Amino acid sequence: MARALRLFSDVLFALVVLLGAAWAATALWLHLTGALRLAALGALALAAAAAFLARKRRRRAGWAVLALAALAVAGWYQTITPRADRDWAVDVSRGVTARVSGDTVTLDNLRDFDWHSADEATPRWITRSVDLNQLDTVDMITSVWDNPDIAHLLVSFGFRSGEHIVFSVEIRREAGETFNEIGGFFRQFELVLIAATERDILRLRTDLRHEEVRMYPVLLSPEQRRTLFLSYVGLAQQLERQPRFYNTLTANCTTVVYGLALGLKSDLPLSDKLILSGRLPEYLEALHVLGGEGTMAERRAAALLRPGAEARHPGLGYSAAIRLK
């Protein structure tokens, strides 16, 4: 028994060292460059070797060396803080800001770009004031670019005036930067809340990026619609005060919205569909808030936004088959 416990202890120690070193090496590789990166990785390798050597001499010494190395890495990692003053890509250079006065919400930095291609646009940032008493519809929009089980989530709020404002939680890319899922686990990207006109953000995805975009009506009461809209307003105000990091798993386009939706129902169930976001329509259906008629396959077909089709309102290059009445 003693021999088995010793073997288990040795295997556990090796796993902790190797997994910890792999995590630290990934973080160092993503955040450091040049000679500093090489020096840090070299120091990490020496620390791992020192832990194994110390354990060979005395078991507790190995854990002590490992703890010191972990503290050093954790201390460095805590110096990586979110910022709002980087050289951002133009489409995420401004997060929406909001001011509330009674029933009126004024949104600044509302994006209304004139897109010429998937990457080029004439920038236009506008200000809009909306009356919460005129908030009539909420639509969930899913946008798939590759894996049908993974979709970007957007939420569109429709007002009696015919205006629709779309909120999108996104990574805040720096100029020339591209997204990668691994970096999203290691504080490589800040988080931004984009508010945009449908003419901008949906036409970009349907007509220019050629993504598979679907729009589903969400059946909420007037008070619930108001609460959800103000939850987005609150998020905009929070991010204006204090930047946050995006996280591929815990702070992405779906899980952040899930956190906002808890204001509607505090016991919203957790589900794998919050990660496999292409299945969000089934999640809403289980909650009995998904609008439309027919089977799920029929509703998915009806929800598809087709590039270049008849516009719902002037200037919008797609048609939406279903809307809350």
> Burial, 256: exposed, middle or buried (Cβ in 10 Å; 0-12, 13-18, 19+)?
buried
Q: Print burial letters for 6-15: b (CB count within 10 Å at least 16), e (below 16).
A: eeeeeeebee
What residue type is 218 in one-letter code?
V
77 within 8 A of 69, measured Cβ to Cβ? no
Largest CA distance in the chain: 78
What per-residue confidence (pLDDT) applies to 324? 29
Residue that has been written with the tokens 């809340």 in this structure: 193
What per-residue confidence (pLDDT) applies to 309? 56
Residues 6+ apart with CB under 8 A from 248: 181, 182, 184, 185
Q: Give CA–CA dist 196/17, Å, rounded.
A: 46
What residue type is 126 in one-letter code?
I
Q: Give CA–CA dist 50/134, Å, rounded.
A: 66
Q: Give CA–CA dist 322/325, Å, rounded.
A: 9
Q: Which two tokens stand for residue 95?
A: 């997060």
In 3-state terms, what secondary structure has residue 284?
Answer: helix
Q: Which two tokens stand for residue 34?
A: 């040049």
pTM: 0.90
Q: Output the tens digit of pLDDT for each of the chain's 325 residues.
A: 667 777 788 889 999 999 999 999 999 999 999 999 999 999 999 999 999 999 988 888 989 999 999 999 999 999 999 999 999 999 999 999 999 999 999 999 999 999 999 999 999 999 999 999 999 999 999 999 988 899 999 999 999 999 999 999 999 999 999 888 899 999 999 999 999 999 999 999 999 999 999 999 999 999 999 999 999 999 999 999 999 999 998 999 999 999 999 898 888 998 999 888 999 999 999 999 999 889 999 999 999 998 865 445 444 444 444 332 2
Nearest to 99 by CA among 91, 108, 90: 108
The beta-strand segments (E) located in the chain are 97-101, 104-111, 114-115, 121-122, 125-131, 135-144, 152-159, 164-172, 190-197, 212-217, 306-307, 318-319
Residues 6+ apart with CB under 8 A from 159: 130, 131, 134, 135, 136, 165
What per-residue confidence (pLDDT) applies to 6? 78
Residues 6+ apart with CB under 8 A from 303: 214, 215, 216, 281, 292, 321, 322
Phi, psi of 315 (to 5 degrees): 90, -5
